[in-house]
Chain A
C-alpha cells in the first residue's frame, strides 16, 4: 500500500516480533488426511456392499449419496453464504436433461455427461447469480424457485428430450469390472459424493469460505472490510449449480427413464434444504449427517410402509429440529462441547 499505510503498519506493531497466536486458533485443514479417510471409507462401503450382495443396498446407497451431493451443493450457497436456494430441483434437472440431450445428440456416455452437466448447471448458476444476487433474503429464494418453474416449462415443451412424456435411456445389463449395473451407479455416485464433500470442505476452510461466512453474518460490513461480496457470491452460485447438476446427471441412467415431473420433484428442493438444516448448515459435515439420517429414514419408510411418507417424514423432522435444535446436529454438539 501507500507510504502512509506502511508507516501505520509499522507503528501498530505488525512488523514487530509476531504476536503469540493461541494454538487452538491456528487453522489446521488436514486436507490429505481427509481425502485418505474419504477414499478408505468409500472403498469399505463398496467392499461391504459387495459382500452383502444385495442389489437393494446399492439402490439405497445411491439414494443417500445423491442427497449428500445435493445437500453439500446447497450448503455452499445456503449454509456458508446464507442465500437460501429453493431451486435445487431446477439445477438437478438441468444436469439430468443435459446428460439426456448429449446422449441423444452425440451418443455420449454417463461420465462425459456428468462433466457436461456440471458445466451447464454451473453456467446456469452463474447466470442466475448474476441476475438475482442483488436480491436478498426471501426475494432471492423466490427468484430461484421461479427459475425451477421456468426450466420445467421449457423442458415440458422441448420434444427433443422427450417433452412431457419423458425420455428413455437403455441401461446396459452390466458394466465391467462391476458385478452389476447397480454397483456401477453406486460407485459413480460415491465418487461424486466424495468430490462434492471434499469441495464443500475445501471451500469452508479456505479464504472463499471465510468471505462467504462474513457475507452471511453481515454483507454490508463484509464489503466495508474489503470482501468482494458479489464476486464471491457468483463463485458460490456457480459451484452450487455445478454440483447440483452433477448430482442430477446420473438420474436418467439410473432409472432408465426420466420425465419432467420426476426430474423437477418437490422432494429434491425440500430435501436439499432440510438435510443441511438438520445436520447443521454452515459445516461441511452437516449435510452429510443430514443426508444419511433423512435419506436413511426415507428409505426405511419406503421399504416398510410407503414412499408416499417420505416428505411427511422430512416435514416432521424439520419442524422438530427447527424447534429443538435450530443449529442442527453439528451445532448441538458444538454447543455442548
Chain B
C-alpha cells in the first residue's frame, strides 16, 4: 500500500468503458474497454472491418449514439458533439485527407484557431503550426495544389492547431511511400514528445511497431490483444487474424 502511495499511477487521459456500436442487427463494436495514459503512444490494428474506425468515431463523437461511456481527462464526453470534444483537446485525422478545399492552406489551419479561443492571433499561430509540419512555404496555396503527403501534413497541422491532449491518427500514412511514412512518423513523434498522446490506427506494420509503445488488436469488433508490440504480434490469435488459422 505504501508503495502505491509513493508511486501512484497517473490518472488516465482517455477511458473507454464497454464502448459498443450496432448497426441494426450487426455488432460493429462489442464492449471495448481501453485506458490510455497521458502522453502514451498506442497503436490500434486489425483487419478491414474489425471496428477500428467505428471505435474512433465513437470516441470522437461522430457516432453520437453508442453503448458504454468515454471520458477524457476525467470529464465525460458522452453526448457531446465532435466540435465540443475537439475543444476539450481531442483531435483526429481522417483516412482520406479532408481539407477545406476552397480555403488556402493557412486558412485551413486558422479555422480551428478561430473557434478555439485564438481569434486574435490565429494567423501567427497557424503559421507556427504550418512550420511544424514544414508547410509554411505553401501557406497561400490551395489544398488541391498539395501532394498526397503534404495533404496529410496539412491534416496534422489542423490537428496541432487544436492544441490536443489526444490525437487519433486514422490511417494517416495510407498510400504514402517509405520515405513519406518516415516523415509522418517523425512528425507524430515530435508531437508526442510535446506531451500529446497519440492513437495510431494503421495497416503499415512497420510504422505501427516503430511508433507504438503499446499495441491493441481488434478482430470482428472485439479487442483480442493488448500489450507491448512485439508480444502482441507474436500472439497466435493475432497471427491467425491476419494470416488465417492453420
In the complex, the answer to whether B165 meets A226 with C-beta atoms within 8 Å is no
Interface check A282, CB cutoff 8 A: yes
Number of B interface residues at 8 Å Cβ cutoff, please give it.
59
Interface check A33, CB cutoff 8 A: no
Which one of A155-163, A195-203, A214-222, A313-321 is at the B interface? Answer: A214-222
Which one of B97-105, B204-212, B232-240 is at the A interface? Answer: B97-105
Interface check A303, CB cutoff 8 A: no
| From B84, B101, B102, B124, contact of A21 by CB (8 A) | B124
In the complex, the answer to whether B99 meets A11 with C-beta atoms within 8 Å is no
Interface check A308, CB cutoff 8 A: no
Kindly identify, within residues 1 to 32 of chain A, every residue whose CB is under 8 Å from any CB belonging to chain B: 1-2, 4-14, 16, 18-22, 24-27
A7-B194, A12-B194 are contacts. A211–B127 as well, Cβ < 8 Å? no
In the complex, the answer to whether B101 meets A226 with C-beta atoms within 8 Å is no
In the complex, the answer to whether B99 meets A221 with C-beta atoms within 8 Å is yes
Identify the closest chain B residue to A82 (Cβ). B102
Scan A209-252; emit 1 where CB is below 8 A from any B CB, else 0: 01101101110111111111110000000000000000000000
Interface check A336, CB cutoff 8 A: no
In the complex, the answer to whether B191 meets A12 with C-beta atoms within 8 Å is yes
A5-B165, A19-B128 are contacts. A225–B112 as well, Cβ < 8 Å? yes
In the complex, the answer to whether A226 meets B81 with C-beta atoms within 8 Å is no
Identify the closest chain B residue to A217 (Cβ). B100
Identify the closest chain A residue to B110 (Cβ). A210
In the complex, the answer to whether A223 meets B83 with C-beta atoms within 8 Å is yes
Most buried by A among B101, B104, B114: B114
| From A10, A213, A230, contact of B100 by CB (8 A) | A213
With the chains together, A220 CA to B56 CA distance in Å? Answer: 14
Interface check A207, CB cutoff 8 A: yes
List the B side residues contacting A230 at CB < 8 Å: 81
Kindly identify, within residues 135 to 187 of chain B, every residue whose CB is under 8 Å from any CB belonging to chain A: 136, 139-140, 158-165
With the chains together, A225 CA to B98 CA distance in Å? Answer: 11
Identify the closest chain A residue to B143 (Cβ). A217
In the complex, the answer to whether A11 meets B102 with C-beta atoms within 8 Å is no
Closest 8 pairs between A and B when the two form their complex, measured CB to CB: A11-B194, A19-B127, A217-B100, A225-B112, A226-B86, A7-B195, A221-B98, A8-B194
Residues of A bordering B, CB below 8 Å: 1-2, 4-14, 16, 18-22, 24-27, 207, 210-211, 213-214, 216-218, 220-230, 282
With the chains together, A236 CA to B89 CA distance in Å? Answer: 27
With the chains together, A211 CA to B129 CA distance in Å? Answer: 19
Kindly identify, within residues 99 to 140 of chain B, every residue whose CB is under 8 Å from any CB belonging to chain A: 99-104, 106-107, 110-112, 114-116, 119, 121, 123-125, 127-132, 136, 139-140
List the A side residues contacting B83 at CB < 8 Å: 222-229
In the complex, the answer to whether A221 meets B115 with C-beta atoms within 8 Å is no
| From A5, A25, A221, contact of B163 by CB (8 A) | A5
Identify the closest chain A residue to B101 (Cβ). A217
Kindly identify, within residues 65 to 88 of chain B, every residue whose CB is under 8 Å from any CB belonging to chain A: 73, 81-84, 86-87
In the complex, the answer to whether B123 meets A14 with C-beta atoms within 8 Å is no
Residues of B bordering A, CB below 8 Å: 13, 38-39, 60, 62, 73, 81-84, 86-87, 89, 91-92, 94, 98-104, 106-107, 110-112, 114-116, 119, 121, 123-125, 127-132, 136, 139-140, 158-165, 190-191, 193-196
In the complex, the answer to whether B196 meets A4 with C-beta atoms within 8 Å is yes
In the complex, the answer to whether B114 meets A210 with C-beta atoms within 8 Å is yes
With the chains together, A216 CA to B84 CA distance in Å? Answer: 20
Identify the closest chain B residue to A208 (Cβ). B114
| From A18, A22, A217, A226, contact of B128 by CB (8 A) | A18
List the B side residues contacting A220 at CB < 8 Å: 62, 94, 98
With the chains together, A216 CA to B106 CA distance in Å? Answer: 17
A223-B81, A224-B82, A224-B92 are contacts. A13–B132 as well, Cβ < 8 Å? yes
List the B side residues contacting A10 at CB < 8 Å: 194
A8-B191, A220-B62, A222-B111 are contacts. A18–B124 as well, Cβ < 8 Å? yes
In the complex, the answer to whether B111 meets A19 with C-beta atoms within 8 Å is no
| From A14, A25, A214, contact of B111 by CB (8 A) | A214
List the A side residues contacting B82 at CB < 8 Å: 223-224
In the complex, the answer to whether A5 meets B102 with C-beta atoms within 8 Å is no
